[in-house]
Structure formats: structure tokens, C-alpha cells
Amino acid sequence: MINFTSLIEGWINSIPIGNVYVKSGIFLVAFILVMRLVIYIVEKYIASFVKDTKTQIDDLILKALNRPIFYVLFFWGTRIAVDLLKFSETVTNNIQKILDVLIILSLAIIFVRILNIIIDGVVKKYAKKTKSDLDDELLPLSHKVIRILVFVFAAMWILTLYGVEIGPVLASLGIAGLAIGLALQPTLGNIFSGISIVSDRSIKRGDRVRLESGEEGIVHDIGLRSTKILTFDKQLIIVPNSQLANGRVINYARPDNKSRIALDVGVAYGSDIDKVKKVLLDCVKVVPKDVIDKDKKSAVYFTNMGDFALTFKLIVYLNSYKDKFLNEVKLREEVYKKLKKHRLEIPFPTQTIYVKK
């Protein structure tokens, strides 16, 4: 690459123009036009070739790398153009280092995109064939880990450009590892808790959960440090993974999506028990049949003789927890209407006081 750069600079210096700024500008414009021509040829001929292959990985890689490669070549051409301007050595070195940093970051983006496409195209293909959904949950986590590792190596590369020796830096990191570990203990705890949550498969994206604090919502994302839960009021709750792993969480989607409505109903003493049961079961008709679990029948149980009421529990089994809230509201309204219609009294707390003469 260095010899090729020297060859280009020698060719430009042979141009019979005395103004270095004009030479530099001509070179940069010509370089951009050549890059555009090369990209056009790649898109027209190579893209048509990769379309005939059985896999789509090469198509995705070619499409994803179009712009980053253009930036790499553009920064490289700008670097050569700056060298032609014959600034002072300090100014030239500083500008070229900035351009080298931009080239390294562009290359890091290229590597991240290639690795992500390979993971999505190869690993994800086999993950779908497995019965376990553990690998499907680890895929988003692997994308984040790859991004972090690539940019860490890019940062180390950039440090070497500015004369920082990586060896002593890594040695000092080993010495300071204990202090850093103690300082980052909560963060590391959250990271390992996130891995534990995913590997344990107790919670995954799309599940409806209820936290120990009482909030309910849908799991939106499980990240390295925290889990995001979207409430039904469209508010995003960010919970540290360690708190989620160590706390008590109700997952309505586990072990399956099935749920039930358990409605407590109180009627006055003296009411006909059989009539109450019949009326309550008749109320179940308000719930759509496709929502009710056909494998389990709805039932009414006489559960308690309280201080001022006879308590019954109406249970309706549902196919999915997603249908519980609205149908529970409809069922509760229907129960109130039917009890009122059949003149079954719904008592309220009362006390009888006897006064001794």
C-alpha cells in the first residue's frame, strides 16, 4: 500500500502544474471519479454474479459494505492529497493521523457488519432448526459483544498511531484490574445477570411480566446491563438485570400462554346456592368462545361463609393471557347485571348492635 501511494504521488508530481493546491484538487476529484467508476462496476457486474449464488450472505455483505468502503477509499485519497500540499511536518502528521483514525473506524464498521451478517445468515439459520430458543435469544447479545470487541481493538490500533505502547497499557490494566473490577462490580453483576436470564430462559422478549414493585408490561429488550419493559401506558421501564434476576417476577407467558379469570362474588345470606351457581355460569357466555380454553370447563365454587356474605369464585380458563383483561372486565359487568336481574342481593359490610337494657 505504501509503494502504491508513492507511485501515485510520483505520477501527480509529474503533472506540469506548479500550484500544489491545484494538483491536490485535481487528484482528489480524479480519485473520487475513479472510485465511483469502480463502485459502479462492482454493483453492475459483481452484484449480478452474487445473485446467482445459493446463499444471500454475499448479497447482504456487498450491499452493506458499499458506503463504508467508499469512505475508506475517500479518506485514503484525502490523505494522499494532503501529503501533496507540503504543509509543515507537524501539520501534515496531525491531519494524516485524524484521517487514519477515520479509516480505522470505517474498517471497524466494515468488520462489525460482516460478522453480524455472517451470524444472522449462518448461525441464525441453524438456531431456527433447534427446539430450544436459547440460541435465538443469545443472537442479539452476540451482536452487542462483537461490536464492543471490534471497537476495543480499533481503539487499541488508534492508540498505537499516537505512540502509545499497548504492552505497558495491558500490563497496567492487569495491575488495576482489581480496582476496576470493584468499581465496575454493579455493572459486571448486571452483565452476568443478563446472561443468566437469557440462559435460564425464564424471561424473553415479548413476555408479559409483573415486577415485584407492581408494574406490569411487555419485555421489550434484554440488554447487557438492563432489561427494558414497555408498560401498557407506553412507558419504558429500565430495570437492572441484577435486580430482575434476584427479584420476584411474575411471567404470565410461562410455562405457556394460557391463563384464567378468577372472579370473587359475594351474595347475601339466604340466597339459593344452586341458583347463584347457575346465574354465574350463564354469565360466561359473554366471553367469546374462541378465547375460552376448550380443554377446561368453567366452574363456580362456594368458597366461604364470611361475616356478611356467601362468597363464590367463578373461574374461566383462557387460551392466552393477552385476552384476560378486557374479558375479565366484560365478565364482571355481566355478573353485576345478572345478579341484579335475578334479584340476588350483593351485600355490603354491616354490623348489628344489641343494646343491653
What mean pLDDT is predicted for residues 29-56? 68
3-state secondary structure (DSSP) of residue 274: helix
The conformation of residue 39, written as its DSSP 8-state character, comes to H
- The CATH number given to 188-251 is 2.30.30.60
Does 209 score more than 70 pLDDT? Answer: yes
Which of 271, 263, 281 is closest to 345 using CA atoms? 271
- How confident is the prediction for the chain on average, in pLDDT? 76
The angle that helices 2-13 and 20-41 make with each other, rounded to 10 degrees, is 130
pTM summary value = 0.47
| pLDDT one-digit tens code per residue, 66-102 | 677 777 777 777 777 777 666 677 777 777 788 888 8
In the chain, domain spans:
2-169, 188-251, 259-341
- Predicted local confidence at residue 109, as pLDDT: 84
pLDDT tens-place string over residues 263-282:
899 998 888 899 999 999 98
Neighbours of 197 (CB within 10 A): 21
pLDDT of residue 307: 82
- Average of pLDDT values for 302-309? 88
CA angle 177, 181, 186 (to 5 degrees): 165
The yes-or-no answer to whether 188-251 and 259-341 have a common fold is no
Which of 27-41, 188-202, 285-299 is least confident? 188-202
The CATH architecture of the domain made up of 259-341 is 2-Layer Sandwich (3.30)
Give the residue with greater pLDDT, 213 vs 335: 335
Is the pLDDT confidence value at 1 over 50? no
Q: Which of 18-32, 103-117, 160-174 is the most confident on average?
A: 103-117
Cα 248-253-257 angle, rounded to 5 deg: 150
